[in-house]
């Protein structure tokens, strides 16, 4: 048998039909649904008189536009249009009989955090969601695609996705990370190296010692941003850590089924002599704590660097950098460490898990914030409960952080959590696009510990100086 | 779905790279539960000021580009979120074709599901088309999907690649779900086999 990559193996196990031109129907094991990209899909089903083919494999949770403040299970406390979308999801989940975690449920949270937490996401599966950060689930060795609403409807109706196979790209991070360097710094550095289109047409497999050393939480952070590098999906081969994370989760297999699953999962790795269409290697030791300076996730620099000048770039990037710097209100040559911020946002599907909150709290313990506004939005109700149990919530609150309920919140600012024009935010989320966190808002992406450090000093900060 | 075969229309130049889906349709407009009506908010934050007045410099606000049907843009168009509201807004505005050196994957696929043709051409050719688009309303470009060509207002012709299956669906206005439903027995078979091989799924 010819050698295969992990992607090849999962792909081959899910092709339900292949046409002569290579267009495939890829069978979907898990379909995650949220309130913003699904209403039109359900409406389409109704209009055509179609059913959800596998309601038992379809899971819905509202997350994108829900408020993260108390009292939100009463629709009166939501903006009218949010309430309409959430009510639509409530109704669609009920009418079509799919699994559902409403806002009143402690298991509610960001869809990409809930899936793994509840054991819906397992190695070797195909997972889709009408959200580009579905790539997160690749941390389990699951092939996870973000899809548009027409495709949501297609998966609801047929449990398949029309796909052509992507190319294979290997991103290897060798060696060990230095202190203060995290999964977020890895994933941002990779995008800094490849650009936001570097992964277009590829499925990336992340490997190497520095990746193996990461916890499942860290691996999810890395895969989460595969899409920011343009890739269709990001993958990490499952190993003992993966199996241990999955074991005992509510929807993970049990008993004999667990053993059978484990046997298959252990075959899910790229063969030694598998073919790669593209290979990128970074040394773990070379990765520094980084921040973004511009309005594209590829605008990454070590915190020790200075704000660049447009002339540092080439081609279309010269104009883009000029526009970014203007939008961000930054002057070329300023040390990044001197850039003052007024808001800190810790949360999102990139960095809203328990390990992220622990890392931020470790920096904040016994300190006070020096910014106008700082908020922590746990990725799920369960993460929130655990953080309260571990005393992390108290550390955040004593430092001056708002302690919120779970949701996407200021990651995309569809709920009331928004930046005002000109406000500058240290954010643990994944996108720094113009207006992403509120019209005119300025976003610097970084790790949770870097965001915590920035909260304490009121400017972009090298977390190593506080460790 | 609307068919696409040929189109002759005004092309607007947007010489920016990495035009992301948040620029195309900012999130405050994602709260709709309908597919239509998003055209007025296409490129909202570039198009209107804080008080909702048009920004005259923005290309689609200029008199010669109000009837734009083709957009010529920079590299990596449509990067970012999977929101299909982006192609819905583009289509609702009246744009049926985008020309750029490259696209983000999900956006590219979403276009075809909505009767929009995204054309990828090498940078040098996009540069020429960008110049042509800058001529305004007098310069009408022609797109022919059957022959896979773009013709400038000067008669210069460029050929583009497109996946044959996607082309077929777009030319005939075919609905993906309907097509897949015809293969339902293959899906049934797959499910039977998979439930034996991976019963835990
Ligand atoms: S947290 Fe942000 S990136 Fe993640 S699903 Fe929500 S909006 Fe998308």
Q: What ipTM was estimated for this complex? A: 0.92
Note the pTM of the prediction, 2 decimals. 0.94
Label the pairing between strands A15-18 and A24-27: antiparallel
- Cβ-proximal residues to B122 (8 Å cutoff; 6+ apart), any chain: B101
pLDDT(B130) > 90: yes
Partners of residue A265 in chain B, C-beta under 8 Å: none
Mean pLDDT confidence for A151-173: 97
* Helix and strand numbers, DSSP H then E, in chain B: 8, 7
Residues 6 or more apart whose Cβ sits within 8 Å of residue A350: A133, A184, A221, A224, A225, A411, A428, A429, A430
pLDDT value of position A416 = 87
Ligand 1 centroid to A349 CA: how many Å? 6
Instruction: Compute CA distances A136 → A128, A178, A430, B187, whole Å.
Output: 11, 24, 12, 27
Cα A411–chain centre separation: 10
List CB contacts (< 8 A) between B164 and chain A: 21
CA A235 to chain centre: 13
B23 touches chain A (CB under 8 A): yes
- Say if residue B138's pLDDT is above 90: no
Ligand 1, atom 6, lies closest to the CA of A408
Angstrom distances, CA of residue A105 to CA of A155, A303, A406, B82? 26, 40, 11, 27
User: The domain B6-197 is classified under which CATH number: 1.20.58.760, 3.20.19.10, 3.90.1300.10, 3.30.70.360?
Assistant: 3.20.19.10
What letter would DSSP give residue A405?
A: P
pLDDT in tens, B19-46: 999 999 998 899 899 999 999 999 999 9
CA atoms B163, A145, B99, B89: torsion sign: positive
Q: Which helix (H) or strand (E) holds A425?
A: strand A424-427
A366 CB within 8 Å of a chain B CB: no
User: Cβ distance A346 to A369 under 8 Å?
Assistant: no
What does the alpha-carbon distance between residue A134 and residue A157 come to, in Å, rounded to a whole number? 20
Dihedral of alpha carbons B34, B37, B39, B45, sign: negative
Q: Does A418 touch chain B (CB under 8 A)?
A: no
The phi and psi torsions of A236 (rounded to 5 degrees) equal -135, 130
Contacts of A253 in chain B (CB under 8 A): 200
B54: nearest Cα among B45, B135, B19: B45
**Interchain contact B37–A (C-beta under 8 A):** no
| Residue in this structure with the two tokens 């439903």, named with its chain if needed | B181
Distance (Å) from the alpha carbon of B183 to chain A's nearest alpha carbon: 8
What is the rounded CA–CA span in Å between residue B104 and residue A288? Answer: 28
Residue of B45, B106, B186 with shortest CB distance to A16: B186
Q: What is the mean pLDDT of chain B?
A: 95
Give the SS3 label for residue A92: helix
Per-residue pLDDT reduced to its tens digit, A15-49: 999 999 899 999 999 999 999 999 999 999 999 99
Domain ranges in chain B? Answer: 6-197
């Amino acid at each position: 048998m010819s050698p295969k990559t992990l992607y090849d193996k999962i792909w081959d196990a899910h092709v339900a039909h292949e046409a002569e031109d290579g267009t495939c129907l890829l069978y979907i094991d898990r379909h995650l649904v949220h309130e913003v990209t699904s209403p039109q899909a359900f409406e389409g089903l109704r209009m055509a008189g179609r059913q959800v083919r596998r309601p038992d494999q379809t899971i819905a949770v509202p997350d994108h536009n829900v408020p993260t403040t108390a009292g939100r299970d009463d629709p009166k406390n939501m903006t009218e249009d949010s309430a309409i979308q959430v009510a639509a999801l409530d109704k669609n989940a009920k009418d079509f009989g799919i699994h559902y975690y409403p806002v009143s449920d402690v298991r509610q949270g960001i869809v990409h955090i809930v899936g793994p937490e509840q054991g819906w996401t397992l190695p070797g599966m195909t997972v889709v969601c009408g959200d580009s950060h579905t790539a997160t689930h690749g941390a389990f060795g699951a092939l996870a695609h973000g899809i548009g609403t027409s495709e949501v409807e297609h998966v609801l109706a047929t449990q398949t996705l029309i796909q052509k196979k992507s190319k294979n790209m290997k991103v290897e991070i060798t060696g060990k990370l230095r202190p203060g360097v995290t999964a977020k710094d890895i994933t941002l550095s990779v995008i800094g190296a490849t650009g936001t289109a570097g992964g277009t047409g590829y499925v990336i497999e992340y490997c190497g010692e520095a990746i193996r050393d990461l916890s499942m939480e860290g691996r999810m952070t890395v895969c989460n941003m595969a899409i920011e590098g343009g890739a269709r999906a990001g993958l990490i081969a499952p190993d003992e850590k993966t199996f241990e994370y999955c074991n005992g989760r509510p929807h993970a297999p049990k008993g004999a089924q667990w053993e059978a699953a484990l046997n298959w999962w252990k075959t899910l790795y790229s063969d030694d002599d598998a073919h790669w269409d593209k290979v990128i290697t970074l040394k773990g030791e070379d990765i520094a704590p980084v921040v973004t300076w511009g309005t594209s996730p590829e605008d990454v620099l070590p915190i020790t660097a200075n704000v660049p000048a447009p002339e540092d770039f080439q081609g279309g990037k010269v104009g883009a950098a000029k526009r970014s710097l203007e939008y961000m209100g930054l002057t070329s040559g300023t040390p990044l460490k001197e850039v003052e911020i007024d808001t800190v946002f810790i949360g999102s599907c990139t960095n809203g898990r328990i390990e992220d909150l622990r890392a931020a709290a470790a920096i904040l313990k016994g300190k006070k914030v020096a910014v106008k506004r700082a908020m922590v939005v746990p990725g799920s109700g369960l993460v929130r409960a655990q953080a309260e149990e571990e005393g992390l919530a108290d550390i955040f609150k004593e430092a001056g952080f708002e302690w919120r309920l779970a949701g996407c919140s200021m990651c995309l600012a569809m709920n009331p959590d928004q930046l005002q024009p000109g406000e500058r935010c240290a954010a643990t989320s994944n996108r720094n696009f113009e207006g992403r966190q509120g019209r005119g808002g300025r976003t610097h992406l970084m790790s949770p510990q870097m965001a915590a450090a920035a909260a304490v000093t009121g400017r972009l900060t090298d977390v190593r100086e506080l460790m | 779905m609307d068919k696409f075969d040929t189109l002759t229309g005004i092309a607007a130049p947007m010489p920016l790279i990495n035009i992301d889906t948040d620029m195309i349709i900012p999130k405050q407009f994602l709260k709709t539960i309908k597919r239509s009506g998003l055209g007025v908010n296409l490129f909202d934050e570039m198009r209107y000021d804080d008080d909702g007045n048009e920004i005259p410099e923005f290309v689609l606000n200029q008199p010669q580009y109000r009837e734009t049907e083709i957009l010529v843009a920079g590299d990596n168009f449509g990067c970012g979120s999977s929101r299909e509201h982006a192609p819905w807004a583009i289509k609702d505005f009246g744009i049926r074709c985008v020309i750029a050196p490259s696209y983000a994957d999900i956006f590219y696929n979403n276009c075809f599901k909505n009767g929009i043709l995204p054309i990828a051409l090498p940078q040098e050719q996009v540069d020429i088309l960008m110049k042509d688009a800058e001529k305004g309303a007098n310069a009408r470009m022609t797109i022919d999907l059957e022959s896979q060509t773009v013709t400038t207002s000067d008669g210069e012709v460029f050929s583009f690649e497109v996946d044959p299956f996607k082309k077929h669906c777009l030319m005939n206005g075919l609905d993906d779900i309907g097509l897949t439903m015809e293969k339902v027995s293959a899906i049934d078979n797959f499910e039977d086999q998979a439930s034996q091989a991976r019963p835990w799924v």
